[in-house]
Chain A
Amino acid sequence: MRARSATEIARAVLRLAYPDATEAGLDAGAALLVRWGGEGVGYDLDAALALLLAEDLGEVVESAGGIQLVGPEIAPAPAERRTWRLPGRRGRGD
């Protein structure tokens, strides 16, 4: 799983999490994930925020089904708790 670019690793992760994602969506999602991770977002994530992150990335990668969750039922964190900036949208962490 060695890659010279972190986006390739992120792309592999997104492809696994969102099997129905589009190729263009994976490219965009991987770039965003690397950017957010490089800004330290990973340290802020709890289960609810991680679910919110998964929902945001699901939209970016153009996945219709989203992540098929296992484990206890959890609700995503409210949008105002988002610690990452979602480009191209308003009112959701912009």
Chain B
Amino acid sequence: MYGHPQIPPLPPALAPPATRSARARLRRALRSRKALSGLTQWVIDWGVPQVLVLGTGYVLVAVHRLGWSKTYNAATMMTPPDGRSAWPVSLVGWLLVPAIIGGLAGHVIATRITSVKAVSTTALFRRRTLADRLRPPRLITDLGAGFPTPDGQFLDAFVRLAHHNDWRTAQDHWEIVVRDVMCTAEFADLDRTDSLRLAESLSRAQLWLGALAGTCVVCRRRP
């Protein structure tokens, strides 16, 4: 049952973690956003880019074509669009911007109404303080930060046994599992802190099972 022969052979000891690249850090941050609420994720994924594109277009039209006053008047429908450059500004101002803001406001209000009596089991009997509400979300745990303690046994199993000391792949697969767990119905509606904490707990339990056998579920799905 124990000492199953492996090809290639298992590394004799857990190696120190590899240096993390900027790309890997950015990837971890992007995956960690799945702990946030749907609205916050939408703002990050779509809201900010839209504001940047529309804001840039507004400034370009104001500086190179119409001037600030005419651009503002066209965007806010205070005057009819005067000229070809004013039409896109006018359309965005009365069609796109109100639709986005109205949609966001409607979603927020509808969510508050529907969730007014829904309390997640992890929040039962607890008081969520202002500090809890304002605390910034943390990122998915960096496995290398736990080397050599306090996570030594889990790292030894998951990094050494399941990934043959390939820290980059192990970190990548750990993040994938945590992210996918956070996307499920059981964890998506939790507070951002609880969502990440409990998703990491479940992910660790799941990955332990595979690591004991020297395998990883993500390795199997992404050969």
- Chain A interfacial positions (CB closer than 8 Å to B): 1-10, 12-14, 16-17, 33-34, 36-43, 45-47, 50-51, 53-54, 57, 66-74
Smallest CB-CB separation from A44: which chain B residue? B201
Q: B183 — which chain A residues lie within 8 A by C-beta?
A: 2
Q: Which 3 A-B pairs have the closest CB atoms?
A: A37-B202, A42-B201, A42-B204
13 examples of A-B residue contacts, CB within 8 angstroms: A4-B185, A16-B210, A16-B217, A37-B205, A39-B201, A45-B204, A45-B205, A51-B212, A54-B208, A68-B1, A68-B213, A70-B213, A70-B214
- How many of B's residues come within 8 Å of A, CB to CB? 43
Expressed in whole angstroms, the minimum distance between the Cβ of B121 and any Cβ of chain A is: 8
The chain A residue with its CB closest to the CB of B207 is A13
Q: Which residues of B contact A (CB under 8 A)?
A: 1-4, 6, 10, 122, 153-154, 156-157, 160-161, 176-177, 180-181, 183-187, 197-198, 200-210, 212-215, 217-218, 220-221
Q: Which residue of A lies closest to B201 (CB)?
A: A42
Q: Which of A34, A41, A45, A70 contacts B10 (CB 8 A)?
A: A70
Q: Are B184 and A9 in contact (CB-based, < 8 A)?
A: yes
Say whether, besides A1-B218, A6-B184, A47-B157, A13 and B206 are in contact (CB < 8 Å). Answer: yes
